[in-house]
Amino acid sequence: MSKIGVFICWCGSNISETVDIEKTKAALEGLPALDYIEDYQYLCSEIGQKKIADAIKNKNLSGVVVASCSPRMHEDTFRNAAEDAGLNPYLLEIANIREHCSWVHSNKEKATEKSVALIRAAINKVKHNQPLTPGSIPVNKRALVIGGGIAGIQSAIDIAEAGYQVDIVERTPSIGGKMAQIDKTFPTLDCSACILTPKMVEASRHENIKLHTYSEVARVDGYVGNFDVEIKKKPRSIDEDKCTGCGICLEKCPGKAPSEFEEGLNERNAIYTPFPQAVPNIPTIDRDNCIKFEKDKCGLCARVCPTDAINFNQEENIIEEKYGIIITATGYQLTDPDQFGEYHYNNPDVITGMEFERIINAAGPTGGKLQRPSNSEKPDRVVFVQCVGSRDKARGHSHCSKICCMYTAKQAMLIREKYPETEVYVFYIDIRTAGKGFEEFQRRAQEDYGVNYVKGMVGKVFPGKDKLRVEAIDAMTGEFLELDSDLVILSPAAIPDQKAGDVSRQLGISQGASGFFTEAHPKLKPVETQTAGIFLAGACQGPKDIPETVAQASGAAAKAIGILSKDSLVNNPCVAEVNQADCSSCFSCKEVCPYSAIEKDETEKHGMVARVNEALCQGCGACTVTCRSSTINLKGFSNKEILSEVDAICL
């Protein structure tokens, strides 16, 4: 005979304001299974939890229903309290009378009626609940970091320092990411490369870190603690063990292609290292632009290589590895301004903020001289255009790209510092400088460096014979402005990396409206994803500046270390089970299982029947519906349990 206790939480007044607690109690009393009922202001508090524990012990309860907030909020809290009191935690159910009732309804009478129905359903379910014991799954003490920008590097270093093996998979030939391209960082005006390259070197030299550059993740299977990953190593056409990074091949190569690192502002060779400080310092042959691969001629690099490291026949290599956790640090990219025709991005003197970073960089294509890309002359007037595609619901993205206001202030400052005679205009919708020292920095640009900030959007850029005519409205005065300008610098929206969609599908993590990966909880779980063991670091989760990226990367690493430091993890006990005596051996279940958790089991008694591998089963329940003899059930969500909830609700 089951003895069930019901505990109703007021949640301060969050519940009790809309749900009449006394009436609810009165409506429930007299239910045959109900043995004990109590209400309290805050059940999640220590006192509240103690009330539940005491009742379990003193009243010898066989099941508990807590009517409170969503089980996604406090199910664990209450189940732990039940376990401490000696009750199997899976004999406790939550009736969600806050998120699904008091917070969405205003009619007290109807809300009370509904909360009674929800509690009744939970009581009915708990009557059929079985005590469940979680199994344990071993943890592979190795981490995978996808993306070798500053986020990936920081996560990898933190995990490696804690003593665990880390592999970084980077798509391009070098780690470093976007930060390597940036000239100076705001608000301190540090040289970006100077603070990044030591970290790149640290990552490459660390005994616990292994770099897979020019590689991509091809396949991900498994689950937390036991991810099976295939990494596709693209052919570099260089024998990495033989190459010394001397660079003679780079000088001789006649093949040319636009340099990705220099944002296409100048050319690189077909055999190239993306930038001088690249890690690893091993060249890559870009087969699409190499004369040897196009026409089977040349091969100059192979002839000049002193260590015979060039290998034109190198093939794609698949590496298989097991990991305990995965950190996604795939970063961002800038949206293509070509889709905003009014800015005439096809004109060479209309550039993006990232192109400007390369132009102003001493190691960049112009040697750090500010020049118009069209004629290499110094510009007299520069116009910055903010929010190109950001905060633009109609044509672009509704989100704010967050970093543009600050990097524009920085870039404007750099121009005015080097070329005080050059006029600088910034057209903006709003200036957003929430960050430590950010407001002061932007004010300095405006007040000390004399950058002209104009509130208003640029309507059109007209390329003239020599100058670019910029038309805009000053939103403060309503005045129509026409500026003849030499250089226009756009701030395109920051959007997720082009491969974010593929990564999301491979890992089974979700993307929000703008395509950035969704965190498990916007406030309390900012680095976790909904998939256990997969974490987020950096701008793949949303636009971020460098300090925020580093902070999140270390946060993700801490979460990862939390898992890697355990020898085994507790398994979800709500898995499928087969009643082998009734199995008709059709194996339809095997077909639908996404985790290959169902095996054919040769038994003495029942012949060849289905069996569930509990370590692999994730508890989705697809098999339970497909089972022709209805002999598979899902523990914790059995047919009986769900049907009894239906019955209680429809009562």
- Which residues bind to other proteins, rule: CB under 8 A? 70-73, 96, 98-101, 103-107, 110-111, 113-114, 117-118, 121, 505, 508, 510, 512-513, 518, 530-531, 574, 592, 594-595, 618-622, 624-626, 634, 637, 639, 642-643, 645-647, 649-651
User: Per the omega criterion (within 30 degrees of 0), is the bond before 280 cis?
Assistant: yes
Look-up of token digits 């690192």: 261
The burial class, CB within 10 Å (0-12 / 13-18 / 19+), for 115 is: buried
- Return all residues near 523 (Cβ < 8 A) that are at least 6 apart: none
Contacts of residue 53, Cβ cutoff 8 Å, sequence gap at least 6: 81, 82, 84, 85
**Six-digit token string for 22:** 């006394």
- Residues in contact with 638: Cβ distance below 8 Å, sequence separation at least 6, in sequence order: 128, 130
* Cβ-based neighbours of 220, under 8 Å, separated by 6 or more: 227, 228, 229, 230, 326, 506, 507
Q: Residue holding tokens 């009378």?
A: 97
Give the span between the Cα atoms of 109 and 86, in whole angstroms: 37
Q: What is the C-alpha separation between 516 and 262, in angstroms, rounded?
A: 25
Say if CB 531 and CB 508 are below 8 A apart.
yes
107 with 155: CB under 8 angstroms?
Answer: no
DSSP assignment letter at 528: B
Q: What residues are paired with 619 via a beta bridge?
A: none
Q: Exposure of 411 by Cβ count < 10 A (0-12 exposed, 13-18 middle, 19+ buried)? A: buried
Find the helix packing angle between 404-418 and 353-360, rounded to 10°: 30
**Selection from 50, 52, 49, 45 nearest residue 6 by Cα:** 52
Q: What is the DSSP string of 423-458?
A: EEEEEES-----STTHHHHHHHHHHTS--EEEES-E
Amino acid identity of residue 38, one-letter, is E
> Three-state DSSP class for 342?
helix
Distant-in-sequence contacts of 52-60, Cβ < 8 A, 24+ apart: 52/5, 52/7, 52/78, 52/81, 52/82, 52/85, 53/81, 53/82, 53/84, 53/85, 54/85, 55/5, 55/7, 56/5, 56/82, 56/85, 56/86, 56/87, 57/85, 57/86, 59/3, 59/5, 59/35, 60/3
Which of 543, 615, 532, 632 is CA-nearest to residue 224? 532
* Residue of 184, 540, 170 lying closest to 333 (CA atoms): 540
For residue 33, the one-letter residue type is A
Q: Which is nearer to other proteins, 476 or 524 (CB)?
A: 524
Tell me the HSE value of 278 on the side-chain side, using a 13 A CA sphere: 20
* Look-up of token digits 């089970």: 577
